[in-house]
Amino acid sequence: MDSIWTRDCALPSHPRLTGELSVDAAVIGGGMAGLLTAYFLQKQGLRTVVLEADTVASGQTAGTTAKITAAHGLRYTRLADDWGWETAERYAHAMTQAIESFARVIEYENIDCDFSRRPMFLYSTSDPQSMRREAEAAARAGLDARFTKETGLPFAVAGAVRVSGQAQFHPLRFLRAIAEQLTIYEHSRVREVSSSRLTTDGGAVSARHIVFACHFPFVNRPGYYFLRMHQERSYVLAIEGAPPLEGMYWGADQGSLAIRQAGSAILLSGAGHRTGENRAGGSYDRMRRTAARWWPDVREAAHWSAQDCIPMDGLPYIGRYAADEPGWYVATGFQKWGMTGAMAAATRICGLILGRDTADTELFSPTRFALSPSADTMLADGLEAARGLTRPWFEPPRALLSALPDGHGGIVEHEGKKAAVSKDKDGNVTVHRCRCTHLGCQIEWNPDDRAWECPCHGSRFAEDGRVLAGPAQRGLDEEN
Ligand SMILES: Cc1cc2nc3c(=O)[nH]c(=O)nc-3n(C[C@H](O)[C@H](O)[C@H](O)COP(=O)(O)OP(=O)(O)OC[C@H]3O[C@@H](n4cnc5c(N)ncnc54)[C@H](O)[C@@H]3O)c2cc1C
Ligand code: FES
């Protein structure tokens, strides 16, 4: 399912890596985080290459809604509660700097990408108190934030936080201009990483500095990112025909939607769930019903979905990958705020590589181990993954193949074995092994996207078994 960005912005193609290269820095992943990091490194004079498994910006960045903001949900109340005010202030400062860095790059490179300054509104239709608390926390952390009930939305809110000076853009037009300046290899999945060498199917790169900007880091040890993150998927509906909206919006209530204008369309996003836990489906239909309630005469222009990594303690992982691999860096855990997150990562990783630690290096450091009061979330996360790894293997298949309706998928008994089976609308059957190729959890069918998903760490596979998203790097039928 194409997003409105991919529909109206084709990116030039790049060659596959063949042979051997030696560079200063190699970036794994050509999404927002990878391209920005490569851009800054190259501007600093480092010979840099980007290795992309598929095509540039074809990952989660293609499905973003591209609000460039420091107002990340009810973040400042949580940061202040869990980590204290100094952390909340540093976070606000880092994300505000990231907005200004986008503005500077866009101006400097003269990029036509619909960049526009907008206020960001966090809203609730039921809980004004949490909005008041967040307005106070965000203002105390340093944002230009205030409580209001005036939002411009087509429904009344009980309260909202208005944050000025935020922005939005067309992410792919921006990245097209950035990518033009870089050396990029597409269809070049990195299969192995040793201390200073990366191997793809067609070639190899030696690099003093290696940046994992591949969304979910796929090297399990060292780093152990699979123990400290899961992924959450959300759905986006683009509609035409509604009156234009001034602001960008994020709903705090259960089931509420994020909203922004994008050209003549309005994007609604939400219906989020842990990846691999959407067996019931119906996400797009629920959003269509909501849109029709707010604006009865609109028509659908597009729909798509994407996912992001959710770290267990509320802060992204930006910095050194692991203590015992000093030349490796990572940018991940953006919690659906990966525009400012990617910019913050790119500038910080570039600073680290050049030997310039910033004051907040420690704040985002992946090697931080201070346990915040959110440690209960960590425990819950770990338990969920552990349950995913073990439980379904003791469950029998959910049905016989014959009981699976046409047009559906599921874990069924096929030829005496448990298998992942999908049927098209004419009843043609596709069969795969039902083990995720990352660490072996049982995959689940997502009826909204007709894809297989792993509830443990969020890997995704197409109906034909190809990898759509990591940490898994092999298709369902590929041998180790
Ligand atoms: C519905 C939705 C809406 C969102 N809206 C917003 C928003 O409004 N504002 C905001 O700030 N954030 C938003 N986000 C979050 C944001 O889109 C993401 O955080 C961001 O796009 C992640 O970028 P990335 O570069 O880390 O990952 P990606 O864009 O996924 O890039 C990673 C790349 O690495 C490649 N790769 C993987 N493995 C390998 C390998 N082994 N070798 C080579 N390449 C590899 C992949 O193919 C991919 O292209 C949203 C997220 C969702 C789900
Ligand atoms: S994503 Fe880790 S086991 Fe599937």
Do 454 and 319 reside in the same domain of the chain? Answer: no
Residue 10 burial class via C-beta count within 10 angstroms: exposed 0-12, middle 13-18, buried 19 and up: exposed
Residue 106 domain-assigned? no
Identify the pLDDT of residue 357: 72
CA distance 185 to 15: 5
Could you tell me which of 52, 473, 403, 23 has the C-alpha nearest to residue 226?
473
Q: Is 385 in the pocket of ligand 2 (CB under 6 A)?
A: no
Residue 249 domain-assigned? no
Could you tell me which of 55, 6, 49 has the C-alpha nearest to residue 31?
55
In this prediction, what percent of the chain has a pLDDT beyond 70?
A: 94
In this prediction, what percent of the chain has a pLDDT beyond 90?
A: 85
128 is written with which tokens?
């004004």
Do 330 and 397 reside in the same domain of the chain? Answer: no
Closest residue CA from atom 15 of ligand 1: 336
Identify the pLDDT of residue 401: 79
Query: Which listed ligand is nearest to 218 at the C-alpha?
Result: 1
Amino acid in the structure at residue 435: R
Do 461 and 354 reside in the same domain of the chain? Answer: no
Identify the pLDDT of residue 85: 97
Tens digits of residue pLDDT in 286-319 = 999 999 999 999 999 999 999 999 998 999 999 9
Do 446 and 330 reside in the same domain of the chain? Answer: no
Residue 149 domain-assigned? no
Identify the pLDDT of residue 391: 56
Which of 185-194, 396-405, 470-479 is the least confident region?
A: 396-405
Do 333 and 445 reside in the same domain of the chain? Answer: no
CA atoms within a 13 Å half-sphere pointing along the CA-CB vector of 39: 26
Q: Assess whether pLDDT exceeds 90 at residue 394.
A: no
Ligand 1 pocket test target in 13, 200, 337, 364 with most atoms within 8 Å of CB: 337
**Cβ(237)–Cβ(267) under 8 Å?**
yes
Do 365 and 320 reside in the same domain of the chain? Answer: yes
- CB neighbour list of residue 108: distance below 8 Å, 6 or more residues apart: none
Tens digits of residue pLDDT in 200-255 = 999 999 999 999 999 999 999 999 999 999 999 999 999 999 999 999 999 999 99
Q: Considering 326, 344, 372, which residue would you say is the last residue of a domain?
A: 372
In what order do the strands lie in the sheet containing 467-469? 444-446, 451-453, 460-461, 467-469
Q: Assess whether pLDDT exceeds 90 at residue 444.
A: yes
Residue 409 domain-assigned? yes
Q: How far is the CA of 158 from the centre of ligand 1 (A)?
A: 33
Predicted confidence band of residue 25 (pLDDT cuts 50, 70, 90): very high
**Cα dihedral 276, 282, 287, 288 in deg (nearest 10):** 150
Query: How high is the mean pLDDT of the chain?
Result: 93
345 is written with which tokens?
């990562």
**Cα dihedral 465, 468, 472, 473 in deg (nearest 10):** 80
Q: How far is the CA of 319 from the centre of ligand 1 (A)?
A: 17
Enter the DSSP assignment of 250.
Answer: E
Q: For 415, left (φ over 0), alpha (ψ -120 to 50), or beta?
A: left
- CB neighbour list of residue 271: distance below 8 Å, 6 or more residues apart: 234, 235, 255, 257, 283, 284, 286, 287
Cis geometry, peptide bond prior to residue 471 (ω within 30 degrees of 0): yes
Residue 163 domain-assigned? no
Residue 2's φ and ψ, nearest 5 degrees, are -80, 145
Identify the pLDDT of residue 373: 46
Structural domain boundaries enclosing 189: 4-64+173-227+314-372
The mean pLDDT value for 373-383 works out to: 55
Q: Assess whether pLDDT exceeds 90 at residue 399.
A: no
Do 58 and 191 reside in the same domain of the chain? Answer: yes
Q: Assess whether pLDDT exceeds 60 at residue 80.
A: yes
**Cβ(157)–Cβ(147) under 8 Å?**
no
Tens digits of residue pLDDT in 162-176 = 999 999 999 999 999
Q: Is 434 in the pocket of ligand 2 (CB under 6 A)?
A: no
Predicted confidence band of residue 396 (pLDDT cuts 50, 70, 90): low
Do 461 and 329 reside in the same domain of the chain? Answer: no
Identify the pLDDT of residue 417: 84
Ligand 2 atom closest to the Cα of residue 454 is 4
Q: At 459, which CATH number?
A: 2.102.10.10
Residue 86 domain-assigned? no
Amino acid in the structure at residue 436: C
Q: Is 143 in the pocket of ligand 2 (CB under 6 A)?
A: no
248 is written with which tokens?
């960008």
Identify the pLDDT of residue 101: 98
Q: At 325, which CATH number?
A: 3.50.50.60
Amino acid in the structure at residue 89: E
- CA–CA distances in Å: residue 188 to residues 57, 329, 369, 477: 14, 19, 34, 20
Identify the pLDDT of residue 126: 97
Could you tell me which of 16, 27, 59 has the C-alpha nearest to residue 185?
16
Query: Sign of dihedral through CA atoms 410, 413, 415, 418?
Result: positive
Only one residue has tokens 């030829």, namely: 415
CA distance 102 to 174: 10
Identify the pLDDT of residue 390: 57
399's enclosing H/E stretch is strand 399-400
Q: Assess whether pLDDT exceeds 80 at residue 28.
A: yes
Do 341 and 452 reside in the same domain of the chain? Answer: no
Residue 269 domain-assigned? no
Q: How far is the CA of 227 from the centre of ligand 2 (A)?
A: 11
131's enclosing H/E stretch is helix 128-141
- Residue 344: CB atoms within 10 Å: 29
Tens digits of residue pLDDT in 269-278 = 999 999 999 8
Q: Assess whether pLDDT exceeds 90 at residue 360.
A: no
Q: Is 456 in the pocket of ligand 2 (CB under 6 A)?
A: yes
**Helix/strand number for the chain, H first, E second:** 10, 25
3-state secondary structure of 63: helix
Ligand 2 atom closest to the Cα of residue 457 is 1
pTM for this entry: 0.95
Residue 271 domain-assigned? no
Q: Which residue blocks in 249-365 are alpha helix, DSSP H?
A: 283-294, 338-353, 361-364
- CA–CA distances in Å: residue 401 to residues 115, 277, 331: 51, 21, 42
Query: Which listed ligand is nearest to 75 at the C-alpha?
Result: 1
Residue 394's φ and ψ, nearest 5 degrees, are -95, -10
Do 328 and 453 reside in the same domain of the chain? Answer: no
Q: Is 64 in the pocket of ligand 1 (CB under 6 A)?
A: yes
Do 223 and 323 reside in the same domain of the chain? Answer: yes
Amino acid in the structure at residue 87: T
Domain count across the chain = 2
232 is written with which tokens?
């959450």
The mean pLDDT value for 405-430 works out to: 89
Q: Which residue blocks in 308-374 are alpha helix, DSSP H?
A: 338-353, 361-364
Predicted confidence band of residue 48 (pLDDT cuts 50, 70, 90): very high
Q: Which residues pair with 452 in a beta bridge?
A: 445, 461
Q: Assess whether pLDDT exceeds 50 at residue 454.
A: yes
Identify the pLDDT of residue 317: 97
Do 341 and 219 reside in the same domain of the chain? Answer: yes
Q: Name the CA radius of gyration of the chain, rounded.
A: 22
